[in-house]
Structures are given as structure tokens and as C-alpha cells.
Structure 1
């Protein structure tokens, strides 16, 4: 694991902690930094990070707090407070 990937992991954990403590602006900044770092170093973001960040407003999604989770035929739908939706398949 190179330095950029380690820093992205650290920013993801900081964003998760900041959202848990209701510091949404700080969490949004951590998400933006992680995305910019991944683009500049041409590394992919971790799958867990991709799933729980909103592409539209860069907020870190916490189900029940700033995101709604619904199950529809064969996929999970995460809806952010801004209205953006993410769909992920699941096996039943």
C-alpha cells in the first residue's frame, strides 16, 4: 500500500468519525480531500468509501442520520438528504 492509499484510508476514517460527531462540514472536506488525492495519484477509492459518500454533495452517508436506506427487488437504494440516490445490488 502506498502513501496515497494510506492517506485515503485515514481520511475515510476521519470522515466517518466527524459524521458520527455531527461535524458534517468537516466530514465533507475530508471526502473532498480523499477524492482529490485519489485523482491526482491515479488510485481507486476503497469500495466502502464509495458506497457511503454522496457524489452530488460530497457528504459521508450515515444511514438513519443523513441517508435513507430502502430495499428494492435485488438492490439497496441509499438516498442522501440532497436527493441523490445510489443503488447497489445484493444477493438474497
Structure 2
């Protein structure tokens, strides 16, 4: 059952990415919310790519240059800032 949930989460990620590129941010938010609820219900995580490109505050699917700003911080972190003001930092090597 968990495998089906993981496949559905990946499909919702693809749909959210396409919705943002088509100019439908509200539909993309709904896909993100569905994917997160599905992951909680089945106790499986969301893929790293999905986790890093969604806003925790407003559930937007982030596309750099369109609704997110991505910067590198002095050799140690990637800083992703959503249009709503939420900032996320991820380490890199």
C-alpha cells in the first residue's frame, strides 16, 4: 500500500510542477497539500526534490525565477526564498 502512495506522491509532484509552469499556482498548491496529506496518512516521506521545492508556509510549488529566489551562501548553504517570505536553507558539499 505504501508503494502506491509513493507513486501517487511522485505523480502529484509532476502535476504541481506542470500547473505552476502553466500559470495555475492555486492548483499546484492543492496538489502539494494532497501529496503531504497522503505522505502523513501512509507514514512515508516525500521525495527530497519535492521537499526542497515546496514552501512550508504557503504550500506553493517553487520554481526558481518564477516564484522563488535561490542563492548560494558562502560555500555552505543553498538559500531558497518563497514570494511569501519563507526562507529555507539546505546544506551542500
TM-score band by shorter chain is over 0.9
Q: How does the TM-score come out when normalised to structure 1?
A: 0.96
Say what the alpha-carbon RMSD is for the aligned residues: 0.9
Give 1:88's aligned residue.
90
Q: How does the TM-score come out when normalised to structure 2?
A: 0.95
The runs of 5 or more residues in structure 2 that have no matched partner are none
**Displacement after TM superposition at 1:2 (Å):** 1.0
How does 1:38-53 map onto structure 2 within 5 Å?
38-53=39-54
SS in 2 for 1:87: strand
How many residues end up aligned between the 2 structures?
Answer: 91
The runs of 5 or more residues in structure 1 that have no matched partner are none
**Displacement after TM superposition at 1:16 (Å):** 0.5
Q: Any runs of at least 4 consecutive aligned residues in structure 1 with deviations exceeding 3 A, and if so which?
A: none
